[in-house]
Amino acid sequence: MQQHSRITHEAEPNEGYIRKLIAEGEHQQLDFKFGINDSRKIARTLAAFANTDGGRLLIGVKDNGSIAGVRSEEEFYMVQAASEMYTRPVVPFEVKEWTVNQKRVLEIIVPAIKGTLHSAPVEKEDYLIYIRVKDENYPVNSVWLKAYKWKNLKTGTFIKFTESEKLLLTYLETEATITQSKYCKLAKINSKTAENIIAGFVAIGMISIVFTKHGVVYKLSDRYTNLSPDQRLKEISSHVSK
């Protein structure tokens, strides 16, 4: 396998570029890896960065921020395999190799790619679309996918605004979050209808999806809470299908 054509070799400048990145800690656009032994797992990080806001992967850095350095050229080839073999479509990246205290750190730079969703394997041939939330990668659900599709429609996003929709917003004005199943029970609607209603509100920016290790919940968006009641009604009404 040929060395990646975009790799560059750098000595860390006096201001400590890599150390400044490490000081930020892991977050939505930064991830640390001591080493790589699974290209599929790295593919999920590459896809999540590309689908969200882009990001940097520092290889040769432990979770606690200490610099261990990369062990061999194999680290680079594992990232290359992650991109070329395990992301669909292929996630492009750039590589910089930094020398810090005589240790090598690989900086993998992934751009945010708008208009295209990238998937990676969760298990063997089972591919899912991932996004980056804080310092974790999460597979998206059907609500997220519908909202993404509807938000990007050239004709605009249109929703209904019946009692079922009003019930959801009213509930979330007093409760922090709700699950899809809870909403189904409250509104006495089926799962598909609930999914469409929530996705519509997500698409127009009135509800946010919260991904956690324990599952997915929904809450009012910051945009919704910052609007007055009249402004909310005006915003929602502008998206109501005639």
pLDDT in tens, 190-210: 999 999 999 999 999 999 999
Write out the residue range of the structural domain in which residue 181 sits.
141-237
Task: Count the Cβ atoms, other than its own, within 10 Å of residue 123.
Answer: 8
What mean pLDDT do residues 39-65 have? 96
| Confidence band for 69, pLDDT divided at 50, 70 and 90 | very high
Count of residues making up the chain: 242
Last residue of one domain, picked from the residues 71, 103, 138: 138
- One domain for residues 64 and 102: yes
> pLDDT, tens digit, for every residue of 133-192?
999 999 999 999 999 999 999 999 999 999 999 999 999 999 999 999 999 999 999 999
pLDDT at 65: 94
pLDDT at 6: 56
Is a pLDDT exceeding 90 seen at residue 72? no
| Confidence band for 212, pLDDT divided at 50, 70 and 90 | very high
Token duo for residue 142? 């059907």
- One domain for residues 183 and 69: no
The phi, psi pair for 7, rounded to 5°, reads -75, 140
- One domain for residues 193 and 76: no
pLDDT at 89: 98
Judge contact between 113 and 33, C-beta under 8 A.
no
- One domain for residues 124 and 159: no
Give all strands of the β-sheet with 119-123 in edge-to-edge order: 119-123, 126-133, 136-139
| Confidence band for 125, pLDDT divided at 50, 70 and 90 | confident
Query: What is d(CA 109, CA 159) in angstroms, rounded to the nearest whole number?
Result: 38
- One domain for residues 133 and 146: no
Q: Which residue has the tokens 């917003």?
A: 169
Query: What is d(CA 109, CA 96) in angstroms, rounded to the nearest whole number?
Result: 8
Residue 110, in any domain of the structure: yes
- One domain for residues 80 and 134: yes
Q: Which residue has the tokens 């350095």?
A: 69
Which residue pairs from 203-207 have beta carbons closer than 8 angstroms and sit at least 24 positions apart in sequence? Answer: 203/146, 203/147, 203/148, 203/150, 203/151, 203/157, 203/159, 204/151, 204/157, 204/159, 204/235, 204/236, 204/239, 206/169, 206/232, 206/235, 206/236, 207/168, 207/172
pLDDT at 13: 62
Global pTM exceeds 0.85: yes
Instruction: Work out how many domains the chain is built from and give that number.
Output: 2
Last residue of one domain, picked from the residues 103, 138, 173: 138
Residue 34, in any domain of the structure: yes
Last residue of one domain, picked from the residues 138, 167, 190: 138
| Confidence band for 7, pLDDT divided at 50, 70 and 90 | low
Which is higher by pLDDT, 15 or 76? 76
Which is higher by pLDDT, 242 or 120? 120
CATH number at residue 118: 3.30.950
